[in-house]
Amino acid sequence: MRGNKILHIFLTLALIITMCTPVAIKAETTFQVISPISESTVSKNFTYYGGTYPLVVIPSDNSVWTAYPSASWIKTNKTTGTASNPAVEITVESNKQTASRSGKVVFSAGSASYTFTIYQTGNPTGKNPDTEPTILNVQYTSLQAPSYGQNYFINVGSNRAWTAYSTQSWIYYVDRNTYHGGAGSCVAMYIGVKPNTTGKQRVGQIIVKGENVTKTITITQSA
């Protein structure tokens, strides 16, 4: 009898210890999504020309996310990413049909997911947009900057995807690291020119490149 009582007490204590031991619960993965070009991280409207849109998808832990486009006309430049390799580009093919269409890319890590929605207009021309010539319009071809420096807004529009970069470190982007736009986009680049402390006039350029078309904005700064 005494042995049974001791065993009963031992089992009761073991049960109490088990019930009181804290259980680690893993936090559910969440996503931080950033737009490098300071646009929407939820959805994007594309013209029938299509284009490319960059996103940075960062999981809250070391999870690996997988990208799942919902349609064959939506592509990603990679299928997986991590917190240390989060950048991804979504490419939308041109729409050769008159009807508009929509789709999405779902980023999934475990039970967590994040959806980016894509809307694309129909093609009213009846022509294949892939064969149309590239149009690239830049507001200025040259600017004269004062020695103390100045900021400028420069409008860029194109029916193709385009990128822009500076040839000199004293010409910079005020609000981001780079500028580029998708097909059919019109973007106001916010350009800064630093004060000239060299004592001499200096010249630099901003190069805007579309498909088979390049435009140059020459910036001359006084001494």
How much is the pTM?
Answer: 0.63
pLDDT over threshold 60, residue 21: no
Angle at 17 between CA 11 and CA 22, to 5 degrees: 150
The domains of the chain, with CATH numbers, are 31-120 (2.60.40.10), 133-221 (2.60.40.10)
pLDDT recorded at residue 158: 85
Of 22 and 216, more confident: 216
Kindly report the backbone phi and psi dihedral angles of residue 175, in degrees, each rounded to the nearest multiple of 5, phi listed first.
-110, 5
pLDDT recorded at residue 24: 46
User: How much of the chain, in percent, has pLDDT values that exceed 90?
Assistant: 43
pLDDT over threshold 90, residue 174: no
Could you read off the pLDDT of 61-111 as tens digits, one per residue? 878 999 999 999 999 989 999 988 898 989 888 899 999 999 999 999 988
Tokens read off for 27: 């936090």
